[in-house]
Amino acid sequence: MARLSLTARLGLLFMLALTGVLLAAGLAVSHLSREHFLDLDRHALHDKLQASRRLLGSLERADRLETLGSQLHTLLGAHQDLRAQIIAGDGRVLFAEPSEAAIPARFRTRIGGLWEWWEGERLLRGMTAEVALAGPGQSLTLLLALDVTHHEDFFAALQRWLWIALGVCALLSAGLGWLVARSGLRPLREVTQVAAGVSARSLKERIPEQTLPVELRPLVSSFNGMLERLDESFVRLSNFSADIAHELRTPLTQLMTHTEVVLGRARSLEEYREALYGNLDDLKRMARMIDDMLFLAKADNGLIAPERRPLALHELVEQLLDYYRLLAEEAGVELAQGGEGWIAGEPGMLRRALSNLLGNALRYTPTGGCIRVRIGQRGGQVLLEVENPGPTIPAEHLGRLFDRFYRVDPARREGGHAGLGLAITRSIVEAHRGSIRCTSAGGLTRFELGFPALSAADGSGSR
C-alpha cells in the first residue's frame, strides 16, 4: 500500500483538526440552544403555575371552581400551545383547557420538575403543582403542558445543516490544507532539488539558509556540513589517488629503465647481481609505501584497535633515544630527555609514531643542535614534546603537515621518504584517543602529543 505524501498528510491533519473544532463548536451550540429553550419552557410554565396558584388560592372549596371559569380560560387559554388540567383530590378533572386536552394520568404525581412525552409526532413538556385552597384541608392538582414540537423541528434542522456544513467544511479544509501544506513545504522541495543535483562534480554547491524557515535551518545546516565533509573527503581521496600514482610511478619507471639498461647488452654475473640489488632496494621502498598506505586505510575505517595496557612513556622514549643515539652522534646532534608520565597504549604502535618524529628531527636538525624530548602532565593529560632546531616551517604549511604525501618542499625527496610518516603518526596518536599538533617559529620546530593520563600507581601496579 502506497504511503501518503507529507503534503497529503498535513492536508488531512488540517482537515481533521478543523472538522473536529467545527464539530465541537456545533455540538456546543446545539447543547446550549437546547438548554436555552428548556429554560424558556421552564420559565413559561412556572409563570403560569404561579399565576394559577394566586387565582385558585382564593377558593374556599374545590366545588366552587366554576366561579373562576372565565378567569381560568383567560389565563390558560391565551397560549395556543398550552394544555392545562385541574384535578380534584378524588381524581376528577374539574377543569381542562382546551376541553379535549389530554394529559397522561402518570404525571399527576410528578410534582416539581419538568416532564415530557410524545403524543404521536408531537412533543409536550409540562409541570405538575399542588395548589392549596383557602379552605382548611382543601387542595387541587394543577397540570400544565406546552407543545414544544417546533423546538424539536428546529433542532432537527439545526443538526441537518450542521452535518451539511461539516461535510462542506471538511472538503474545503482538505483543499485548503493541501494548498497550505504545499506552499509551506516549498523550501523543502527546493532542498530536495539541490540534494538531487549533488554529485561528485557538484559538491561545491550549498543550500542558502537565510531564506529558509527556522524549522528547516538545522536540517539544511547539517546537510551543508555533510556536503562540506564529503567535498573535503573527495578532494583528499582524489589527491591521495593522484599521489599514489605519482609516488609509485617514479620507482616503477626507475625499475623499468634500469632493467632495460641492464638487459641492453650481455653483462657479467657480478653486474647482474648489482642490478638486482638495486632493483631490490626500490622494491623494498615500494613495499614499505604500500604497507604504510594499508595502515592508513585501516586507520581511516576505524580498524586500528591498539592494545591498551599501562605504559611508562618515559621508558619508551629512553629506549628509542638509545637506538637513535649512534645516528645522532654521527650527525653531530645531541639528544636530551626529561620528565615522566604513564599512559594506556600499545608500545609497538607508539614506538613507530615516536620513531617517525625522531627520524624527522634528526633529518632536519643541523650539526651541533640538540633534540629535546620532554614529558609532563597538564589538565589530566600526559604531554610529550619533541623539539628540534632547524628551518622554520611556514605557517601556511603547518595545517597540512599530517596530510598524506604532503611535503613542505615537494622537490625534496631525500632518503626515499614518501611523506606518509606524519600521517601515520597522527593516526596512531588518534587511535590512542590523543591529539597532535605542530608549531614552528624562531628556528625551533615542536611536535606536541597529548594522551589521557594514567596514574603512576596504576601503571606500576600492572607491570
At 156-210, the pLDDT tens digits run 888 888 888 888 888 888 888 888 877 777 777 777 777 777 765 667 777 777 7
pLDDT band for position 388 (cuts 50, 70, 90): very high
pLDDT the model gives residue 463 = 41
Note the maximum CA span of the chain. 162
Q: Give the pLDDT confidence of 72-107 residue by residue, as tens digits.
A: 887 887 677 888 888 887 788 888 888 777 888 888
Segment 65-73 shows an average pLDDT of 79
Number of residues assigned to the chain: 463
What DSSP character marks residue 3? P
Domains and CATH numbers, the chain: 6-169 (3.30.450), 214-300 (1.10.287.130), 309-461 (3.30.565.10)
pLDDT the model gives residue 415 = 47
d(CA 284, CA 47): 118
pLDDT band for position 232 (cuts 50, 70, 90): confident
pLDDT the model gives residue 208 = 76
Segment 439-461 shows an average pLDDT of 79
Q: Give the pLDDT confidence of 126-140 residue by residue, as tens digits.
A: 999 888 887 777 788
Q: Which residue is listed with cell 472538522? A: 19
Segment 255-271 shows an average pLDDT of 84
d(CA 280, CA 298): 27
Q: Give the pLDDT confidence of 310-351 residue by residue, as tens digits.
A: 989 999 999 999 989 988 999 999 999 999 999 998 888 888
Segment 284-312 shows an average pLDDT of 75
Selection from 46-55, 72-81, 328-337, 451-460 with the highest mean pLDDT: 328-337
150: CB partners within 8 A, 6+ apart: none
Segment 208-236 shows an average pLDDT of 78
pLDDT the model gives residue 371 = 94
pLDDT the model gives residue 2 = 57
Segment 368-392 shows an average pLDDT of 92
pLDDT band for position 1 (cuts 50, 70, 90): very low
d(CA 232, CA 400): 13
pLDDT(369) > 70: yes
d(CA 127, CA 116): 9
Estimate the share of the chain in helix, then strand, then coil, as percent rounded to the nearest 5: 55, 20, 25
pLDDT the model gives residue 153 = 85
Q: How many C-alpha atoms does 315 have within 13 Å on its Cβ side?
A: 10
Segment 344-363 shows an average pLDDT of 89
pLDDT(224) > 60: yes
Mean pLDDT of the chain: 81
Q: Say which residue, 412 or 392, is predicted with more confidence.
A: 392
d(CA 253, CA 251): 5
pLDDT the model gives residue 459 = 52
Segment 244-273 shows an average pLDDT of 80
Q: What are phi and psi of 376, to 5 degrees?
A: -155, 180
Are the beta carbons of 219 and 207 closer than 8 angstroms? no
pLDDT the model gives residue 279 = 82
pLDDT the model gives residue 462 = 43
